[in-house]
Each structure stands twice: as structure tokens, then as C-alpha cells.
Structure 1
Amino acid sequence: MSDSAPTNQGTHAHGLKYDLPHLFGRRRAISSLAALTLVSAAGRGMAADGSCVAIPAETAGPFPADGSNRAAGQTVNVLQESGVMRDDLRTSFAGMSPVAEGVEVQLILHLVEAGTACTPLAGRAIYVWHCDAAGRYSLYEDRDRNYLRGLGVSDANGIVRLTTVFPGCYRGRWPHIHFEVFDRPADAVAGSAGRLTSQLALPAAACNDVYARDPRYHNSVANLRGQSLARDGIFRDNTPDEIEQQTLSLSGSPATGFEARAVIGLG
């Protein structure tokens, strides 16, 4: 991993019809053993008896770009744009060109049915979005770009892998990543209601390390000061166990990039 920006959008920038067969074909190579290992390695999202726990629902916030609100008088819906289904969220697409800079993050999400079996949920669509290193959201605060938004589809083991950047911190919120889960990719692009909308928090140690070391996050140093997960306007309503479940498990460093994992249990 590195923090260099991508130069192209790869094979997942051609729309839903092109993306689906290629996406499923490549990802079937991951074994069931690897999927179970991911649940155990992430740890969070599991009860003491080893069962998977449903992750709490949260608000989509003011910048979802999923057709549910407007910006500058126009409905914003990136899910209807060709190329929204992709593995790399750092580039803009559908005629927009800006690229998000920042510390690279390999985001690995494991979708499972809540309960004792932790059954992997294959073929689910998950829409992920978050702010950039400067703490700004594309399509709202910067309307000439749509980066750091994309739709992934879980493989046979319920796993979704996306490349993105470490989000910045803006005033009033703890650093976080939004997501919305749909039962099918077609539901996401058709504007159907999602099965779950929630948020994932970034660990404090990683936030402090990234913001202190990387000048692209210079605004985040002051914005993070005085913030905490326990006082965050969204996460503070949850129990300590729920907050732990919603906090990404990270490995890596600001110099080499991070791998971020979470188990998303659906009730």
C-alpha cells in the first residue's frame, strides 16, 4: 500500500452491466476459511459466545448523494451514475476528474447475518462515502468532484474490498465513514430503501498519528482536539460495546497505508 493517487479507474468504471460479472468472477477465489478468519480477526461485531451482533443503525448525515436530498437546488444521486460500482474510490468518475489525495486505506468489510451462524451475505451492495483529507464532501462542498463514493458488492463469502483514503476530521464530528447496505445492486441504483444505514469510526491512535505526520491533514489536527468518540453527536448514544463494534480495526502506518476491517452484522 502507498499514499500515491491512482492514475485511472480500473475495470470498474463502466457501469453496472459491465461490473457485475467481472466483480463476482474475480472474488470467488477467496475461500470460506478466509471469510471466517476475517470475522475472528476483526473481533468487533461478535458477542462473547461467538455469535455475530447486528451493528447499530445511524443517520446518513447531510451529504449522502443517494437521491434523498438536494444540493444547490438539485437532487444529488451518485448511485445512478455510470461507474459508481468500483473498487477504488479515490478517483472521480462519470465525466469528473479530481482525485482524492491522502493516506491509502484498504477497506475490508464482511457482511454477515446476525446470529450464531454468522452466515456470510453474498451479493449485497454496500454504498460507502466519506469526506476527504480536508474534511470536505464531494458533490456538496465541492461540486466538481464525486470521489470517495462508490458501490461495492459482497462476494460469496460476504466480503467487500475497497481502496480509499484516510478521512480527515471536520469540526463537530469524530472521523468516520458512512455506509448503506442494499439487498441487491439493482435496489441501490433504482433508489430503493437500503436495508441498513450506519457509520464506522476511525481509531483514535491512527487519527492522531496520520494527522500529525501528514501535512495534507493539517486542518484535522485542530478539529480533532477536544473531540472523542464518547462525546460524538452520533456515536455517544451507543453503549461502549456498540462503539467498539463500530470502530474499524486498523493495521499499518501513515507511511505504508492501512488495512481497515469491520464486521457488519445485519439483523
Structure 2
Amino acid sequence: MSNTPEPDDTPQGPSYEGRVLPRPADEVVDQGAGFDVATMVSRRRVLTLLGLGVGAATLAACAATTDSSASSTSAATTESTPTTEATDSTTTTTAAAGEIPEETNGPYPADGANGVNVLEESGIVRSDIRSSLDGGTTAEGVPLTFTFSVTDIAGGDVPFEGAAVYVWHCDAQGLYSMYSEGVEDETFLRGIQVVDANGEATFQTIVPGCYTGRWTHIHFEVYPDVASATDVANVIATSQVAFPEEMLNAVYELDAYSGSAQNLAQIGSLANDNVFSDGTELQMGTFSGDTSSRYVGTLAVGVDTDTAPGVSAGAGGAGGGQPPSGGGPGNRSPGN
């Protein structure tokens, strides 16, 4: 028996859970990121309502029990009962020191800038980006949990809840899925997360390798919401995360990152990188951990919706450059 959901026939066309399919000729699971998120939101709303119903019944039962037991409790006992003040466990988003610098999206964004677009693929909204969307190849390397703390500067440095962050980077050998030779059919190390109420979007990935000509980095784009994160024309910030040299030196001793140590040494320092040479004060990630377990990193990203964003041209030309024929530590530079 197939587990693929079947659409309903309606006068408006094929529908699923009350919504008309934007791609009527395709299966329900191939309707794109926007349709996926709407489905998840719809289901969460139902679960929330059910949860409230159960919670209300539970509270009513608790209230009845409390009232019953309270009648047999003396005033003296009440006065001697210690009380505990509630503590606020809400995470506070770290506000960025300024607006995140605008950087190139490079030649391999797969955001539609140069004809390749993964943002329209079903399943692209995900936290763990190590595997390809079809469950194929999984990128190997030192595990990295990375969190973007996104704030809305124009709104008063408040958490940018509902914004969408699209992330992509190369693998341990410096190869970009969908572009580099040998991995053109893969989609690993690419994904979107929706910023939560605390302003955070977290990804499970690996530490990237270092290829010729560029300091190790992670690309990211910020969109106003997930529905608009299917077209690069809607982007409101494009930038890159930088990595500290000490951490990279430790990671690049591992066999999985062969060639990366040499490439990093050839660059010499961040001052020689064509993107980070003007400073990394607002782009250097904060990291903890080690190569034997995993690293945990974060970056405070200030987004000012009052300023006009612009996607910088990649190494291959305007709009992000042309798809490469190869790349990685053992080949020519894959680009920016």
C-alpha cells in the first residue's frame, strides 16, 4: 500500500486538506516549500486546539481537587507552606551590534539567481541539512549545530519571528551540491529554517572544508517569511559566516578534510580573503566544542528592512555566477 497522500477532486481542481494544489499535475509531496509549510501549520493548529481541550479538562479536574483539599487545610498550615517564585525560562535573543554586512551569494546559491533553484523543492524546509532531499548522499564531516539569532533592527532589535533563513555551504572536500562535478544531482548542505519566537533558526550540518582562494565560510540569505523564500528577488539580506582559524586548524587535521589545511595556509589570514578582508566583526561565528564530538556555533544577525538589500554578483558574473564544472581542495577554486 502506498503512503503517498492522495488529493481530493473538487470543482476548483485537485485539493489536499482543503487547499488547491499549486501544481495539479504533480503529487501532493511535490508541491513545493510553501505548500509544505502551510500543511505543517494547519496540522499544528489542529493539534494546538486539541491540546487546549485536553488542557482545559485537566485544569478543571485539578481545580476541583484543589478546592476539595483546601477545605481541610488550616490557615496555620497555609502560612507555613513555602512558596517558590516562577522563573522566566524564555531565551533572550542576542541583538547584533549592527546590520549584517551584505556579501556575494557566490556562484553556487541554487536560489534561482543563475537558473538553479532548490528553494522550490519539497522538503527544503528542514533543520538537518546533511543529506540530499531524496535521502541519497549524506555529507560526512565534523558535526556542527549552528544557530542564527535574527533580529529586526527596524522593528527595534526584536526577534525577527517568522523570517526564513536559507543556508548553503560546501562539503568537507570543498564541493557544492547541485554544481560541483560529481555531485550535480545532490542537494545536501542546503536548507531553510523559519525563525522562531526567540529569533532563532538552527541547522544541523558539518564544518565546511576549505577550497582554493577562499576562507572557510557558510552562505546564508534572509527572507521576510517562508512563503517568499522561493525567489531570490525577495531576499532582504545576503551574507556569510566566518570561522576562527584555531578551530579550523583542529578540524583540518582529520583525513576527511584532506587538502583543506593546505588551502587555508595558502590564504594565510582573513585579511587576504576577498570577502572577509574588510573585517569580520559582524560575521565571525562564536563556536564551542571539539573534533571528537561536535561543534556548536551561533551568529547574531541584524536585519534592517528599511535598507535596500542587493544580491552581490558572484565570481562568475552578475546574479551569482555560472555553474562550475568542478571544484574543491584538489581542484580549481569553486568561487565565492
TM-score, length of structure 1 as denominator length: 0.79
Change (3 A) 1:253 1:178: same
Q: How far off its partner does 1:18 sit?
A: 3.6
Which residues of 2 match residues 1-267 of structure 1 at below 5 A?
15-20=36-41, 33-36=90-93, 39=94, 45-46=96-97, 53-69=98-114, 75-93=115-133, 95=134, 97-114=136-153, 117-141=156-180, 142-212=183-253, 214-227=254-267, 228-236=269-277, 238-239=278-279, 243-267=280-304
Change (3 A) 1:133 1:157: same
Conservation of the 8 A alpha-carbon contact between 1:32 and 1:157? no
Conservation of the 8 A alpha-carbon contact between 1:57 and 1:197? yes
Give the letter for the 1:60 counterpart: N
Tell me how far apart the structure 1 counterparts of residues 294 and 276 of structure 2 sit (CA, whole Å): 25
TM-score, length of structure 2 as denominator length: 0.63
Change (3 A) 1:84 1:61: same
Q: How many residues align?
A: 228
Q: How far off its partner does 1:201 sit?
A: 0.6
Q: How far off its partner does 1:190 sit?
A: 4.6
Paired residue for 1:50?
Answer: none
The sequence identity of aligned pairs, in percent, is 39
Give the letter for the 1:79 counterpart: L
Greater gyration radius = 2
Give the letter for the 1:137 counterpart: Y
Give the letter for the 2:159 counterpart: P
Tell me how far apart the structure 1 counterparts of residues 234 and 110 of structure 2 sit (CA, whole Å): 14
Conservation of the 8 A alpha-carbon contact between 1:16 and 1:83? no
Conservation of the 8 A alpha-carbon contact between 1:127 and 1:149? yes
Q: How far off its partner does 1:189 sit?
A: 1.9
Tell me how far apart the structure 2 counterparts of residues 21 and 180 of structure 1 sit (CA, whole Å): 26
When you count strand as a share of all residues, which structure comes out higher?
Answer: 1
Q: How far off its partner does 1:193 sit?
A: 2.3
**1:172 match: secondary structure:** coil
Give the aligned CA root-mean-square deviation in angstroms.
Answer: 2.4
Change (3 A) 1:62 1:23: farther
Structure 2: give runs of 5+ residues left out of the alignment: 1-32, 49-87, 305-336
Structure 1: give runs of 5+ residues left out of the alignment: 1-12, 47-52, 70-74
Q: State which drifts further: 156-165 or 169-178.
A: 156-165
Q: How far off its partner does 1:22 sit?
A: 7.1
Change (3 A) 1:32 1:61: farther
